[in-house]
Structures are given as C-alpha cells and as structure tokens.
Amino acid sequence: MSVTAVRFVRKDLEEMEWLVRKGYYSNKSDLIKTAVRNLIRETIDRELNRRIPRKEITERGVNELNEEIRSLKRDVLGKNEIHRS
Amino acid sequence: MSWGRMKSTGAKAFLDSGIFITARVFRASNSMICLSAADKQIFIPVVSYKTLGEVVEWTKRHYDKDTSGYMRYRILILPGLEMVPRRRIISLLGRYEPLVTDKADLPHVCAYFASNSDYFVTTNRKLTQMEVREKVNFKSPREFVEDVLGVEGLDTPNGV
C-alpha cells in the first residue's frame, strides 16, 4: 500500500471514530452496516427510477390506482389460498 | 425531504401494499414521505408476507421480473423491518373475519394485530370505513405524516 493510500485509510478511520464519538452511530459496525445499506438502497432506487418513471398525481390517477390495488389484492388472495372459506 | 437528526418516534406502523405502489407511481406523495421516514428509522415499518406478494405481483404485471425483484429488495432493505409470516396471520383469521367486509383485506388486518402495530397506514379508504375501524388505528399517509411524524404533509387526493 502506498503512503498516500495509507493516509487516506487513516483519515477514513479517524472520521469513523469521530462519527461514533459524536453519537451519530452507536459503534463502527453500525456505521458500516448503515453505509452498506444506503449504498444498496441508492443502487435499487436508481434502477427503479429508470424502470418505473413517476407521473404527476391526479384525483383520477389515485382512484384508478386504488381500484387496481383492490382488484390485485383479490387476485393475490385467490392465488395463495390464505382465506379458509 | 431532509429529516436532519430527527429521533425515532418508536412507533410501529403496518404499511399496506398501496403505500409502496403509490410511492413508486406518483412524483410527490405522502406515501413517499412515509417510506423516506422508514429509511431514516423514524418509525418501525411492519409488512406482511402478503404485502410483499402484492407489490411484487403488481410490478410483474406492469413491468418485468427483474423490476419486481428490485421492488422486493427495496422493501426488504428497510431498516428494522418486521415481517409478519403466514402462520401468525392464519391463527387470527377467524377472529377478525366478521369485522372485515372485503376478505382481501383480512390478512392485512390480522397482520396488524399479530405484530401489535400502533398504526395501520393505508391508501384504501374503503377499508377504513369497515366495522374493524373501531379496533384498528387507521391512518391515511397524510394523517400518519402529520399526526405521527409531526411534519407537514402534501395536499394530495385522499391524502395518499
């Protein structure tokens, strides 16, 4: 590892310790888990934003979506035989 | 929306499938604010295996298998997520069946009770008018954002 790389790693470690000391995270493990989760979330959101473009909200759009969700629920219920009757 | 260093409310909220779908379909919604707060660990999100199934099915119908996989993981990655399994729902079906008119909503209501959630956040207004409303603390996304999270909600149709 080069001297520059060592400097960077040391700086990151110091920053991690500072964040834990300040109470932003309970410990270093918590910090790393949060960082990894955020990274995955950002990747998924980027991909979903590309695949499912968002549209403007309208009364009609909301009503149509709600009806669609209700119908979907009935279909999924039938599929997974959860209801006993 | 920036949450700054807002502390967790400690509240447990059951999120209906409509919340995840609405947040993904519309550009600005209170459902989006709810999910953003869940990402920031401001409350404990609860979903049932049924919610997950519905969201995945909706995405498969409109898009493709890969996109539905992304949607599934987007839910599963919510920090502190509590998932209510099938067996916990089954045992409660008989008890709440008479109070829920639309049987498609029954598993969700049972999941709310099984998880001891404090709130049931839903975009489904019909559900909130059923007999079970006296036993369930229903909130529209806007009510949840304003009453529980304490931030200003968006003026959207039905508070979605």
pLDDT in tens, A33-84: 889 999 999 999 999 999 999 999 999 999 999 999 999 998 887 665 544 4
CB < 8 Å to B93, chain A: 82-84
> Residue B92: is it exposed, middle or buried by C-beta count within 10 angstroms (0-12/13-18/19+)?
middle
CB < 8 Å to B67, chain A: 48, 51-52
Number of domains observed in the structure of chain B: 1
Is it the case that residue A19 has pLDDT exceeding 60? Answer: yes
| Tens-place pLDDT, residues A21-34 | 998 888 999 899 88
The CATH number of whichever domain residue B49 belongs to comes to 3.40.50.1010
Between the CA of residue B59 and those of A52, A72, B29, B157, what are the distances in Å?
9, 11, 19, 23
**Dihedral, A14, A15, A20, A24 alpha carbons, nearest 10:** 170
Q: Give the integer Cα–Cα distance in Å for B97 and B84.
A: 18
- Residue B48 in any domain: the answer is yes
Q: What pLDDT is recorded for position B78?
A: 95
Confidence of residue A6 (pLDDT cuts 50, 70, 90): confident
Q: How many CB pairs under 8 A join A and B?
A: 115
Q: Which of residues 38-77 of A touch B (CB under 8 A)?
A: 40-41, 44-45, 47-48, 51-52, 54-59, 61-63, 65-66, 68-70, 72-77
Q: What pLDDT is recorded for position B1?
A: 66
| Tens-place pLDDT, residues B80-125 | 999 999 999 999 999 999 999 888 999 999 999 999 999 999 998 8
List the beta bridge partners of residue B113: none
> Residue B146: is it exposed, middle or buried by C-beta count within 10 angstroms (0-12/13-18/19+)?
middle
Interface confidence: ipTM more than 0.90: no
Between the CA of residue B78 and those of A22, B44, B47, B56, what are the distances in Å?
25, 9, 10, 16
Give me the domain span that covers residue B142.
13-151
- Residue B80 in any domain: the answer is yes
Query: Which letter does DSSP use for residue B67 in this model?
Result: H
CA B136 to centroid of chain Cα atoms: 13
Q: Please identify every stretch of chain B with a pLDDT value under 70, giving residue numbers as ranges.
A: 1-5
List the beta bridge partners of residue B13: B45, B119
- Residue B8 in any domain: the answer is no
Contacts of B104 (CB under 8 A, 6+ apart): A70, A73, A74, A76, A77
- Residue B145 in any domain: the answer is yes
Q: What pLDDT is recorded for position B89?
A: 94
SS3 B48: strand
Q: Give the integer Cα–Cα distance in Å for B153 and B160.
A: 10
Q: Give the integer Cα–Cα distance in Å for B8 and B26.
A: 26
- Residue B2 in any domain: the answer is no
Q: Which two tokens stand for residue B83?
A: 């998932």
Q: What pLDDT is recorded for position A85?
A: 40
- Residue B7 in any domain: the answer is no
Does B28 contact A72 at a Cβ distance shorter than 8 Å? Answer: no
Top-confidence residue, A8 or B109: B109
